[in-house]
Every structure is written in structure tokens, then in C-alpha cells.
Structure 1
Amino acid sequence: MVSRVVFGRGSFNQLDEILAPMRKGRNAPFIFYVDDVFKGNHWLTSRITLSYKDKIVYVPTKEEPKTSQIDQYVEDIILAHSELPSGIIGIGGGIVMDIAKAVSLMLTNKGESKDYQGWDLIKNPAIYHVGIPTISGTGAEVSRTTILTGPERKLGINSDYTPFDQVILDPELTKDVPKDQWFYTGMDCFVHCVESLNGTYLNAFSQSYGEKAFELCQDIFLGDNLSEKDSQDKLMMASWHGGMSIAYSQVGVAHALSYGLGYLLGVKHGIGNCIVFDHLEEFYPEGVVMFKKMKAKHNIELPQGICADLDEQQLNVMIDVALSLEPLWENAIGKNWKNKITREKLMTLYKLM
């Protein structure tokens, strides 16, 4: 679990105070990975104080993070500095926070990041790392995974060393998120809740967090007369609770299929979940009905036919990625999931998208 959390509007202003005790010296910088949407945005960047050899690295977020990208960032740090950084700080959405988590892990674990895609393969603790979300929904700020696209698969580095040491939850940082991105990322949280609460891994811990996040999502996306500030505050809390729910259980069918879309087509995680979930009435009937109501209420139109022109080989690549995520299927279907989830079944589902 994340050991330290600060929440509140304006709490980003506490960043210097939080980082100061963690500095290890002049030659051990803080590296700030910042979503490049904030490049030139002095409202945010002017509040990042750089000292000694500290550096801001602006991260492009048009594509999901790749293992090769992580390896390059790690190499850049090692070549530029004589000591390990005092800390890695990720400021942005799920992509940036996943990058911050992955870099902090790979600075203390030898080899390439692709070698650690999976569960509990990390052997050494990460260096100090901080997550500061600027969009709510992914749960990346609280999860024990960092989702990466590697040469062979899209899969997270899942370990007890992955979660941030410190998270700053400042709802003000989400004020300029475009509506469609707000919806897609918020639906990532909603899908987390549905998959966790309907999964075979469900337990009292994950259920308590999942139910609260589900309630908040209903309030935000189906409620009326909610102010913009209240919506920002509640979605940030829904993201946290949804992330906590899956940290103690697992996601399910939507995420498994979405990873296939992400790997082959580069579809970003939030919208990918929406595209998939729209066709999962068989698995989550009540959740899909509610999702369609949310989509209609906010006038969201999803891309259609993204798999229409794929050949059988391409479809099989996505199916291979989806089927490799065995814990997700076991959570969704049960231990005998392989009797129900066939390649033909997944081929049919992908052709609907």
C-alpha cells in the first residue's frame, strides 16, 4: 500500500516540503516526469522547484508506455549522474505515473524492463518515488502495477515494490481535462469497480473499496446538480478507492481484451476499456446497462469498427495477448475459465468492436 498520502485542493503546493527530507545530496537529483501537455503551463511547472541537478522530463502521452522507453529513461539517468536519484516524481495521468513507477524500479534491478513483466519478478526495492495524478480514474496512483507494452506482450510489472512511497491528491490539477478524456478515464475507474465486485477474487477488503468507488461513479456520471469542484474531488476519490479495490482482487474481461487492443492497435487504455465494455453484456449485464446510460447522458460516441479490417493473423495476436492474462480470466470466470473462454469466443467479441 502507499504509505503516505496528502489530499486537498492546493496540496500540490506542499511538494517542496514533502521532498526536502528525502534529498540525498547535491549529486542525487530529483527527476520529475511531467505530462507534456503541461509544457509551457507555468500555472503548474512554476510550482516545481529545481535544485542542484534536478531535472524535468516532459513525457509524450499519445502512446502507452513501452519497455524500450523505460530502458532509455533509465540509461539516460545512469549516464548523466554519478549517483542514483533521490527520487522519481510522476506528474500526469496513468501513463506518466506508470513510467515513474517503472523507472524507479529499473534503477535498482538489473536487466531490461521486459524481463520483469509479470507478477512478483522484481527482487530489489525501488528508489523513492512520488505520484501526482492530474487526471482521475486509472488508479495508477495506488496500484501495484505499471502497465507496459513490450516486444511480446502488454503486461504490468506487478510487485510489492511498485506502489508509490508518497501520493499527492490535488483535485485542482484536473481542472483542464477535456470532456472526452475525463469520461474515458473515469470509466476506467467504473470498470475497475464492476470487474472487482463481480469477480471470484472478491473479499471484504476489496468489496468495501469497490462499493464506495462504484457509488461515487454513479453520483458523478449519472447524478445531477454536482458542482465542477465536487465532481473533481469525488472522481479523485473514486479513482483511489477503485485502485485499492483491484489491488486486493483483480480486474476482468474488459481489461484482458483491452490489453489486446492496446498491444496491436495502440488504443489507449481508457478508451480501449470503453470500446470493449460496450459489448460485454454477457459478462456484466447490469454494469453495461449503466455504462450505456452514462455514455448517453454525456453524449459520448465511441469509435466503431476498429477491428473491421483486421485479418485473422492480427486478430490472433490480440487473442494471444488477452489469453496470457490468466489471473484476469480466473477472477472473471473462475478456475475453469479455459472451458468457457475459447479463441473462437474472443474472435467473435473482437469482431464486434
Structure 2
Amino acid sequence: MVSRVVFGRGSFNQLNEILSPKRLNTKAPFIFLVDDVFKGNAWLTSRIPLSYEDKLLYISAAEEPKTSQVDALVEEIILTHKERPSGIIGIGGGTLLDLAKAVSIMLTNKGESKDYQGWDLVKNPAIYHVGIPTISGTGAEVSRTTILTGPQRKLGINSDHTPFDQVILDPELTQGVPKDQWFYTGMDCYVHCIESLNGTYLNAFSQSYGEKALALCKEIFLEGSLDVQESADKLMMASWHGGMSIAYSQVGVAHAMSYGLSYLLGVKHGVGNCIVFEHLEEYYPEGVAMYKAMREKHNISIPQNICANLTDKEFDIMIDVSLSLEPLWENAIGKNWKNIITRQKLKELYQKM
């Protein structure tokens, strides 16, 4: 679990107070990985406490994070600075938070990041790392994984060394998020709840967090009685609770299939979950019905026919990626999932998207 967290509007201003005791020495910098959407945004960037040899790196979140991107960042940091950094701070959405987690791991573990895609492969603790989400829903701020697209698959570095040492939850930082993006990442949180609460891995711990996150999602996306600030505050907490729920259980069909879309077509994670979830009535009938009510209420258009012109070989690539995520399928279907989820079944589902 994340060991330290602060929450509240304006809590981003505590960043210097939080980081200062963690500085190893004046030659060991803090590296800030910041979504490049904030480039030129002095309201946020002027409050980043740069000192000594600290470095701010703007990174585009236009594409899902890649293992090659992680390796390039680690190499740049090693070549630029004589000493190992005091810490890595990720400021942005799920992409930036996952990059920050992965870079902090790879600064203390040999090899390439693709070598650590899987469960509990990381041997050495990561360096100190901090997560500061600027959009709510992904749960990346609290999860024990960092989702990366590698040369052969899209899979997380899942380990006890992955979670952030410190998280700052400041709902003010989410202002200005475009409505579509707000919905897509919010639905990522919602799908976390549905897949956790309907999974075979469900336990009392994950259920308590999942039920709270689901209640918050209903309040935010269905009831519509909250003002803008209260909605932002509650969505940030829904994201946290949803992430905690899947950390102690697992996700399911939507995520397994979304990874295939992302790997082959580069579809962003939140959008991919929505595209897939449109067609999962067989597995989550009540959840899909509620999702569609939310989509209609907020007048959101989901991309259609993205798989219309794919070849059999391309369908096979997506199916291979999806089937490789065995814990997700076992959570969703049960231990006999391989007798139920066939390649033909997945192809028929993908053909609807």
C-alpha cells in the first residue's frame, strides 16, 4: 500500500515540505516527470520546487507508456546525473504516473523494463517516488502495477516495490480536463469497481473499497446533484478506492480485451475500456446497463467500428495479448475460464467493436 498520502485543495503547495527531508544530497536531484499539457502553465509549474540539480522533464501523454520509453528515460537520467536521484515525481494522468513508477524501479534493477513485465519479478526496492494525479479515475496513484506496452505485449510491472511512497491528492489540479477525457478516466474507475465486485477474487477488503467507489461513481455520473468542486473531490476519492479494490482482487474481461486494442491499435486505456464495455452484457449485465445510462446522460460518443478492417492476423495479435492476462480471466470467469473463453469467442467480441 501507499504509505503516505495527503488530500485536499491546495495540498500541492506542500510538495517542497514533503520532498526536502528526502533529498539525499545536493548532487542527487529530484526528477519531475510532468505531462507536457502543463508546459507554459505557470499556475502549476511555478509551484514545482526545483533546487540544485533538479530536473523537470515534460512528457507527452498522447500515447500509452512503453517499455522503450522507460528505458530511454532511465538512460537519460543516468547519463545526465553523476549520482542516483533522490526521487522521481510523476505529475499527470495514468501515463505519467506509470512512467514515474517504472523509472523509479529501473534505476535500481538491471536490464530492460520489458524483463519485469509480469508479477513479482522486481528484486530491488525502487528509489523514492511520488505520484501527483492531475486527472481522476485510473487508480494509477494507488496501484501496485505500472502498465507498459512492450515489444511483445501490454502488461504491468506488478510488484510490492511498484506503489508510490507518497501521493498528493489535490482536486484543484484536475480543473480544465476536457469532458470526454473526464468521462473516459471516470469510467476506468467505474469498470474497476464492476470487475472487482463481480470477480471470483473478491474478498471483504476489496469489496469494502469497491462498494464505496461504486457509490461515488453513481453519485458523480448518474445523480448529477454535485457542484463542480464537490464532483472533482469525490471522483479523486473514487479513483483511490477503485484502485485499492483491484489491488486486493483483480480486474476482468474489459481490461483484458482493452489491452489487446491498446497494443495493436494504440487506443488509450480509458477509451478502450469504454469501447469494450459496450459489448459485455453477457458478463456484467447490470454494470453495462448502468454504464450506458451514464454515457447517455453525459452525451458521450464512443468510437465505433475500430476493428472493422482488421485482418485475421491482426485479430490474432489482439487475442494473444488478451489471453496472456490469465489472472484477469480467472477473476472474471473462474478457474475453468480456458474452457469458456475461446479464441473464436474473443474474435466475435472484437468484431463488434
TM over 0.5: yes
Write out per-residue CA displacement over residues 136-171 of structure 1, whole angstroms, 9 at most, x where no aligned residue: 000000000000000000000000000000000000
* 1:152 corresponds to: 152
Question: Deviation at 1:245?
Answer: 0.1
| Structure 1 residue aligned with 2:332 | 332
**Distance in 2 (alpha carbons) for counterparts of 1:34 and 1:339:** 44
Q: Secondary structure at the match of 2:130?
A: strand
Code of the residue aligned with 2:7 in structure 1: it is: F
Partners in 2 of 1:26 and 1:195 — Cα distance? 46
* Partners of 2:61 and 2:324 in 1: CA distance: 26
Structure 1 CA distance for aligned equivalents of residues 161 and 136 of structure 2: 23
CA distance in 2, matches of 1:255, 1:224: 27
SS at match of 2:282: coil
Residues in 1 aligned to 2:122 and 2:318: alpha-carbon distance in whole angstroms: 26
For 1:64-75, what aligned pairs fall within 5 Å after superposition? 64-75=64-75
Residue 298 of structure 1 pairs with residue 306 of structure 2: no
CA distance in structure 2 between the aligned counterparts of 1:226 and 1:207, rounded to whole angstroms: 25
Structure 2 match to 1:112: 112
Match of 2:286 in 1: 286
Q: Using structure 2 for the length normalisation, give the TM-score.
A: 1.00
Matched residue SS, 1:89: strand
Structure-1 separation of matches of 2:265 and 2:224: 36
Deviation at 1:207, TM superposition (A): 0.1
- Secondary structure in 1 matching 2:190: helix
Aligned partner letter, 2:318: M
CA contact (8 A) 2:258 2:273 kept: yes
Query: Which amino acid is 2:312 matched to?
Result: E
Deviation string for 1:91-146 (max 9, x for gaps)?
Answer: 00000000000000000000000000000000000000000000000000000000
Q: Report the alpha carbon displacement of residue 49 of structure 1 after superposing the two structures with TM.
A: 1.5
Q: What amino acid does structure 1 have at the position aligned with 2:59?
A: V
Cα distance, 1:26 vs structure 2: 1.2
Letter in 2 for 1:258: S
- Equivalent residue number for residue 309 of structure 1: 309
Q: Is structure 2 residue 47 aligned with structure 1 residue 60?
A: no
d(CA) in 2 for partners of 1:60, 1:233: 25
1:202 Cα deviation from its structure 2 partner: 0.1
Q: Is the 8 A contact 2:219 2:225 kept in 1?
A: no
The residue that corresponds to 1:177 in the other structure is 177
- Cα deviation code 1:275-328 (max 9, x no counterpart): 000100000000000000000000001010000000000000000000000000
Alpha-carbon deviation of 1:224?
A: 2.5
> Which residue is equivalent to 1:193?
193
Question: Following the alignment from structure 1 to structure 2, what is the Cα–Cα distance between the partners of residues 181 and 77?
Answer: 31
Rounded Cα–Cα distance in structure 2 between residues aligned with 1:337 and 1:329? 6
Secondary structure at the aligned position of 1:156 is classed as: strand
**Distance (Å, rounded) in 1 between the aligned partners of 2:146 and 2:303:** 26
Write the distance in 1 (CA, Å) between the matches of 2:169 and 2:313: 43
1:208 is displaced (CA, Å) by: 0.0
2:3 paired residue number: 3
Residue 96 of structure 2 aligns with which residue? 96
For 2:172, the aligned partner's letter is E
- Which residue is 1:277 aligned to? 277
**Residue number in structure 1 paired with 2:342:** 342
What TM-score results when the alignment is normalised by the length of structure 1? 1.00
SS at structure 2 position matched to 1:82: coil
Contact 2:16-2:49 within 8 A present in 1 as well? yes
Distance in structure 1 (CA, Å) of the matches to 2:226 and 2:103: 38
Return the offset for 1:225: 2.3
Matched, 1:208 2:221: no
Which residue identity does 2:278 align to in structure 1?
D
Per the TM alignment, residue 70 of structure 1 is displaced from its structure 2 partner at its CA by 0.2
For 1:77, the equivalent position in structure 2 comes to: 77
Counterpart secondary structure, 2:345 = helix
Residue number in structure 2 paired with 1:126: 126
Tell me the distance in 2 between the aligned counterparts of 1:170 and 1:65.
23
Structure 2 unaligned residues grouped into runs of 5+: none
Please report the RMSD computed on the Cα atoms of aligned residues, expressed in angstroms. 0.4
Runs (5+) with no aligned partner, structure 1: none
Distance 2:73 2:177 in 1: 26
How many correspondences in the alignment?
Answer: 353
AA partner of residue 253 (structure 1): V
Matches within 5 A, 1:26-41: 26-41=26-41
What code does the residue aligned with 1:282 have?
E
Q: CA deviation at 1:81?
A: 1.0
- Aligned amino acid, residue 291 of structure 1: Y
**Cα distance between partner residues in 2 of 1:2 and 1:228:** 28
Q: Which amino acid aligns with 1:3?
A: S
